[in-house]
C-alpha cells in the first residue's frame, strides 16, 4: 500500500515577513518533487505565506489550535480560523507545547478532533524524554501517547503521526537507525490494528533532521517523511531535505 511522503517544516517562533523570501526555492523544489511539502510558520505568517505560494505546491499549516470551535479563549486560535487563513495542516502535541503549556494526551486528542472537524490534517507528535529512554520505557511511552492522542475519526487522509524523541529536538543528536526503526514499526503495527487504513498513515521522524542525515533517515522502514525544525528555516537546508525525500524509495 502506498503511503504519502511529507516533508514538513516547523518554523516554531522564528521568521518574519522578510523570511518569506525563503519560500521561492522551496516552492520550486516542491513542484519538482513527488512528495508533499509543508511549512508551519508562526500563525501571523500563515496568511501572507499562503498568498505568496498561491500558485505553488507548497502547503501551509499551523503549529497549534484550540479544541473549541470559537469563544472566550484569549490568545488562542480555532482550527476553523487556521483553515480560513489558508492552512491545510496543523501540528498538535509538539513536545514544546506539551512541556511549555502542560498539554496532555487528552488535550492533544481534543485539539486533533477539532482540527479534523475543521477539515485540517492533524500532525500528532509523540516522543520520549531521555530519562524515559534510559529507563527502557520508550515503546511503552510511545504506545501510550499514540493511544491517548489519536483523534476519533482518524484516517490516513486526515492524520499524520510524527515521532520526535524529545532529546533529539534542536540538539544535533539523532537516534540510531535501529532506534527509529523500532518506534516506527511499533507505530505502524498499532495504527494498523486500530484503523482500517492504518497501514497508509504517514509516519514522520523529527529531531535534528538536516541535509547530511536526511537520506539515511528516509531509508529506514516506515519513515515516510520528516518534521524539520531548524533546517526548515532556510531554503539552502530545506530544499536538499525535500530532494532526499523525493529520491527515497517507498
Ligand atoms: P529540530 O526540531 O529539527 O530543530 O530538531 C524538530 C521539531 O521540533 O519539530
- For ligand 1, atom 9, name the residue with the nearest CA: 229
Give the residue among 189, 183, 195 at the shortest CA–CA distance from 125.
183
Distance CA 40, CA 74 (A): 21
- Per-residue pLDDT in tens (0 to 9) along the chain, 250 residues: 589 999 999 999 999 999 999 999 999 999 999 999 999 999 999 999 999 997 778 999 999 999 999 999 999 999 999 999 999 999 999 999 999 999 999 999 999 999 999 999 999 999 999 999 999 999 999 999 999 999 999 999 999 999 999 999 999 999 999 999 999 999 999 999 999 999 999 999 999 999 999 999 999 999 999 999 999 999 999 999 999 999 998 6
- Residue 230's alpha-carbon distances to 88, 97, 208, 235, in angstroms, are 21, 17, 8, 11
Q: Which domains does the chain have, with CATH numbers?
A: 6-247 (3.20.20.70)
Cell of 133: 529512554
The pTM of the full predicted model, rounded to 2 decimals, is 0.97
Which residues, in sequence order, are bridge partners of residue 160?
123
φ/ψ of 182, rounded to 5, equals: -65, -45
Angstrom distance (rounded) from CA 106 to CA 92: 12
* CB distance 9 to 39 below 8 Å: yes
The rounded Å distance from CA 12 to ligand 1 centre is 9
Annotated catalytic residue within 96, 164, 184, 222: 164
199 within 8 A of 157, measured Cβ to Cβ: no
Out of 66, 94, 184, 222, pick the active-site residue.
Answer: 94
Give residue 196 CA to ligand 1 midpoint distance, Å: 30
Amino acid at each position: 500500500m502506498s503511503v504519502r511522503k511529507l516533508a514538513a517544516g516547523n518554523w516554531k517562533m522564528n521568521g518574519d515577513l522578510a523570511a518569506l523570501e525563503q519560500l521561492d526555492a522551496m516552492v520550486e523544489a516542491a513542484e519538482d518533487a513527488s512528495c508533499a511539502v509543508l511549512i508551519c510558520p508562526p500563525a501571523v505568517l500563515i496568511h501572507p505565506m499562503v498568498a505568496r505560494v498561491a500558485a505553488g505546491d507548497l502547503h501551509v499549516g499551523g503549529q497549534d489550535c484550540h479544541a473549541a470551535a470559537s469563544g472566550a479563549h484569549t490568545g488562542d486560535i480555532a482550527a476553523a480560523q487556521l483553515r480560513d487563513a489558508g492552512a491545510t495542516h496543523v501540528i498538535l502535541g509538539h513536545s514544546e507545547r506539551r512541556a511549555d503549556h502542560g498539554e496532555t494526551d487528552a488535550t492533544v486528542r481534543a485539539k486533533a478532533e477539532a482540527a479534523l472537524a475543521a477539515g485540517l490534517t492533524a500532525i500528532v507528535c509523540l516522543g520520549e524524554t531521555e530519562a524515559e529512554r534510559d529507563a527502557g520505557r520508550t515503546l511503552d511511552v510511545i504506545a501510550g501517547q499514540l493511544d491517548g492522542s489519536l483523534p476519533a475519526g482518524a484516517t490516513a487522509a486526515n492524520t499524520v503521526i510524527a515521532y520526535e524523541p524529545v532529546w533529539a529536538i534542536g540538539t544535533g543528536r539523532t537516534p540510531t537507525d535501529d532506534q527509529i526503526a523500532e518506534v516506527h514499526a511499533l507505530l505502524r503495527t498499532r495504527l494498523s490494528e486500530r484503523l482500517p487504513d492504518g497501514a497508509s498513515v504517514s509516519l514522520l521522524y523529527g529531531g535534528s533532521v538536516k541535509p547530511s542525515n536526511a537520506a539515511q533517515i528516509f531509508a529506514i522502514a516506515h519513515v515516510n517523511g520528516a518534521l524539520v525544525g531548524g533546517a526548515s528555516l532556510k531554503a539552502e537546508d530545506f530544499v536538499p531535505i525535500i530532494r532526499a525525500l523525493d529520491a527515497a524509495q517507498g
